[in-house]
Amino acid sequence: MATSEIGASGRYLLGVSPAEIRHLVEQAEVYAEEAGQLFDAIGVQPGIAAIDVGCGVLGVVHLLAGAVGPDGRVVGLDREPRMVEAARRFADEQSLEVEFVEADATASGLPDGAFDLVHARTLLLNVSNPEEIIAEMVRIARPGGVVVVQEPDALAHA
């Protein structure tokens, strides 16, 4: 997650309590259909390398694992160690073949062009430096790869 998600006290602003972790898992399920439609629309293929930036405890890693199949690679990235730990536990419980990286979304330390798909959901609305995160997402995307961001839309539609 981005530096701005860590408060002055050093606490992860989105919370890491068991209740918050349950909330994040439930939120991932609520948005799963929409994310699946997005992945279909952009043509996520078996065998690609994909990353979910700011994955929290689940994000879309489970959906990506299903989409890229056993020949693909899925990475979840989050700054908060307790979220990464919870994500690893969840992945193990679900027998998901995914990797997790504990790193800041603005400076992941991952190689240039490492991913065919770079995804983030409900990340940019929580930070003060979204342009830095997008720049990092573009950097780790391979040339011709896809960078996609899903953010909530609170706009009222008539």
**DSSP letters spanning 68-110:** H-TTSEEEEEES-HHHHHHHHHHHHHTT---EEEE-BTTB--P
CA 152 to chain centre: 14
Q: Is residue 92 part of a domain?
A: yes
Q: Is residue 39 part of a domain?
A: yes
Task: Name the nearest CA neighbour of 68 among 93, 42, 94.
Answer: 42
Average pLDDT over all residues of the chain: 84
Q: Is residue 158 part of a domain?
A: no
Q: Is the pLDDT of residue 145 over 90?
A: yes
pLDDT for 62-100, tens place per residue? 999 999 999 999 999 999 898 899 899 989 999 999 999
pLDDT for 18-62, tens place per residue? 777 676 667 767 677 787 788 999 999 999 999 999 998 888 999
Confidence of residue 105 (pLDDT cuts 50, 70, 90): very high
The whole-number pLDDT of residue 156 equals 65
Range(s) of the domain holding residue 37 = 3-150
CATH number of the domain bearing residue 38: 3.40.50.150
The whole-number pLDDT of residue 128 equals 83
Q: Is residue 94 part of a domain?
A: yes
The whole-number pLDDT of residue 2 equals 43
Q: Is residue 126 part of a domain?
A: yes
Domain count, the chain: 1
Q: Is residue 19 part of a domain?
A: yes
Q: Is residue 132 part of a domain?
A: yes
Q: Is residue 156 part of a domain?
A: no
Question: Is the model's pTM score more than 0.75?
Answer: yes
